[in-house]
């Protein structure tokens, strides 16, 4: 959908320039009997999200699937202006320029991105982004191990996204880092802080804390963070950026706050596209800034005292430190980050908060609707916009039947959690209407209450 950028004032200025009194007067040459009379029965104005939905419905048979799939990549409403602006020639470049300071506009976008992400996560510093959430976590773990100067053991809960666990293991185990996995509580769906007691004094470099976790559940982040700090370990937060509009930011977790926060940036204005390109964000406390990988843009003054932007802390990086660089990755996901910056600027704090609240409200609505049909949540911990529901029959066959009705019903947990083969991970973002949720619940309950 095209984005029409003219303000009323600009329209008036343009009309004044050509000496026209109004836009309507431009059509005076059309005989009066031809235009339709005053339109009646025209409904009140609709929001962009609602208009998009109407148009999709009227597109009929090519309408996209109704999706309740989340599991790490999330369908959100992206205002049309985001990609209209992001794909302007000035931004639409595949690469950050090598003579970085010649591209002040690119650096300013990255600086504003960093500022907004630092504010969202409650952390001191963020970089200009990494490849994706999973490799971002691997980088955070490498940071923690460098900082620990000794311990090469990391504690990771099994409630962390299974793909993140695989990526982390691929990257860090070949660097002699030991990854120890924590079992989750089968009733609440989170990591019980009490279960950490057996790791007391076991000299871990860091504890990874996903929130919401892969099951959509909210972990006891304050207690987990404080345990890590009491053990002399760093607390690494893995967070969904949209959720931070309503949840406590990692910088405020526990007594001292998480030390590093990472996550997948895709929910911020990047469409679902067969797995990418997405982008990872990483933020940390000031004390860790020299361990942080990748590019960091700083704001400074030039010789004439004029503000400008620069790539800073580069001495840690590959082109200077070679094999001793703080990261294998110096690049950033420039285009996706540009879209995220525009998305955050358009949404603003209130808009982001409204989107997050709507996601949560829809999750509560789905929960109530399924409960009325006798389908209950598998875990008791509070959730944000995603939850595991017990189906009491194999999830695979239910998902296949839903597909026949053009519904992507959720994520089948069987491969990653064999004990949850008769459960389904279901996500509801702000893109779902009451009718969508009702249609889904009808379809799902029809499949799970009839005999297979």
Partner 1 sequence: MQTPVNLKYAATHEWARVESDGTVSVGITFHAQEQLGDVVFVESPEVGRKLQQGKECGVVESVKAASDIYAPISGEVIAVNADLGSAPEKINEDAYAAWMYRLKPDDLAELEKLMDATGYENLVAAESH
Per CB under 8 A, residues contacting partner 1 are: 149, 290, 315-316, 320-321, 324
- The two beta strands, 178-182 and 153-157, are parallel
- Smallest distance from partner 1 to CB 261, Å: 23
- The three-state (H, E, C) secondary structure of the chain, written as one string: CCCCCCCHHHHHHHHHHHCCCCCHHHHCCCCCCCCCCCCCCCCCCCCHHHHHHHHHHHCHHHCCCEECCCCCCCCCCCCHHHHHHHCCCCCCCCCCCCCHHHCHHHHHHHHHHHHHHHHHHCCCEECCCECCHHHHHHHHHHHHHHHHCCCCEEEEECCCCHHHHHHHHHHHHHHCCEEEEECCCCCCCCCCHHHHHHHCCCCCCEEEEEECCCCCECCCHHHHHHHHHHCCCEEEEEECCCHHHCCCCHHHCCCCCCCEEEEECCCCCCCCCCCCCCCEEEEECHHHHHHCCCCEEEEEECCCCCEEEEEECHHHCHHHHHHHCCCCCCCCCHHHHHHHHHHHHHHHHHHHHHHHHHHHHHHHHHHHHHHHCCCCECCCCCECCEEEEECCCCHHHHHHHHHHCCEECCEECCCCCHHHCCEEEEECCCCCCHHHHHHHHHHHHHHHHCCC
Nearer to partner 1, 187 or 302 (CB): 302
Nearer to partner 1, 161 or 316 (CB): 316
Give me Rg for the CA atoms of the chain.
25
- Smallest distance from partner 1 to CB 100, Å: 15
- Smallest distance from partner 1 to CB 232, Å: 13
Nearer to partner 1, 80 or 325 (CB): 325
The gap between the terminal CA atoms of the chain, to the nearest Å, is: 43
Nearer to partner 1, 19 or 150 (CB): 150
Nearer to partner 1, 287 or 368 (CB): 287
Nearer to partner 1, 218 or 313 (CB): 313
Is 134:280 a contact under the CB 8 Å cutoff?
Answer: yes
- Smallest distance from partner 1 to CB 314, Å: 9
Tokens representing 407 are 């519904």
Nearer to partner 1, 326 or 338 (CB): 326
Nearer to partner 1, 104 or 310 (CB): 310
Nearer to partner 1, 273 or 287 (CB): 287
Instruction: Report the candidate in 258, 197, 207 with the shortest Cα–Cα distance to residue 228.
Output: 207
Nearer to partner 1, 32 or 149 (CB): 149
Nearer to partner 1, 6 or 290 (CB): 290
- Smallest distance from partner 1 to CB 290, Å: 6
- Smallest distance from partner 1 to CB 298, Å: 12
- Smallest distance from partner 1 to CB 284, Å: 16
Whole-angstrom CA distances from 107 to 36, 134, 294, 387, 415 are: 51, 25, 14, 39, 42
- Smallest distance from partner 1 to CB 316, Å: 6
Nearer to partner 1, 186 or 320 (CB): 320
Is 69:427 a contact under the CB 8 Å cutoff?
Answer: yes
- Smallest distance from partner 1 to CB 246, Å: 38
Q: How many CA atoms lie within 13 A of 17 on its CB side?
A: 6
Question: Whats the size of the chain, residue-wise?
Answer: 452
- Smallest distance from partner 1 to CB 369, Å: 56
- Smallest distance from partner 1 to CB 315, Å: 4
- Smallest distance from partner 1 to CB 310, Å: 11
């Amino acid at each position: 959908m095209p984005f029409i950028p003219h303000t009323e004032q600009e329209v008036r200025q343009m009309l004044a320039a050509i000496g026209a009194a109004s836009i309507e007067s431009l059509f005076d040459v059309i005989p009066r009997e031809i235009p339709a009379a005053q339109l009646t029965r025209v409904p009140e104005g609709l929001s962009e999200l609602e208009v998009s939905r109407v148009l999709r419905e009227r597109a009929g048979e090519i309408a996209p699937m109704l999706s309740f799939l989340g599991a790490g990549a999330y369908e959100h409403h992206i205002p049309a202006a985001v990609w209209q602006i992001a794909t302007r020639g000035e931004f639409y470049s595949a690469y950050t320029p090598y003579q970085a300071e010649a591209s002040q506009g690119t650096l300013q976008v990255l600086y504003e991105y960093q500022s907004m992400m630092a504010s969202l996560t409650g952390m001191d510093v963020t970089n200009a982004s990494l490849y994706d959430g999973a490799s971002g976590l691997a980088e955070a773990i490498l940071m923690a191990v460098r900082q620990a100067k000794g311990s090469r053991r990391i504690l990771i809960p099994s409630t962390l996204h299974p793909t993140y666990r695989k990526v982390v293991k691929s990257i860090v185990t070949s660097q002699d880092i030991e990854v120890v996995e924590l079992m989750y509580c089968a009733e609440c769906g989170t990591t019980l802080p009490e279960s950490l007691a057996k790791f007391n004094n076991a000299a871990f470099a860091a504890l990874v804390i996903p929130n919401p976790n892969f099951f959509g559940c909210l972990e006891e982040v304050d207690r987990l963070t404080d345990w890590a700090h009491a053990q002399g370990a760093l607390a690494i937060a893995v967070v969904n950026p949209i959720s931070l509009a309503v949840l406590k930011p990692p910088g405020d977790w526990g007594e001292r706050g998480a030390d590093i926060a990472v996550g997948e940036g895709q929910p911020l204005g990047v469409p679902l596209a067969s797995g990418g390109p997405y982008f990872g964000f990483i933020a940390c406390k000031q004390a860790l800034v020299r361990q942080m990988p990748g590019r960091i843009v700083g704001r400074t003054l030039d010789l004439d005292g004029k503000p400008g932007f620069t790539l800073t802390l580069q001495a840690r990086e590959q082109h200077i430190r070679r094999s001793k660089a703080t990261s294998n990755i110096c690049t950033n996901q420039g285009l996706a980050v540009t879209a995220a910056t525009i998305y955050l600027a358009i949404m603003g704090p209130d808009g982001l908060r409204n989107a997050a609240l709507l996601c949560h409200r829809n999750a509560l609505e789905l929960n109530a609707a399924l409960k009325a049909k006798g389908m209950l949540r598998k875990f008791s911990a509070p959730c944000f916009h995603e939850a595991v529901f017990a189906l009491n029959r194999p999830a695979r066959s239910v998902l296949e039947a839903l597909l026949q009705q053009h519904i992507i019903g959720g994520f089948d947990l069987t491969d990653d959690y064999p004990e949850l083969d008769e459960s389904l991970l279901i996500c509801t973002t702000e893109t779902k209407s009451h009718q969508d949720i009702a249609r889904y619940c009808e379809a799902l309950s029809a499949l799970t209450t009839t005999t297979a």
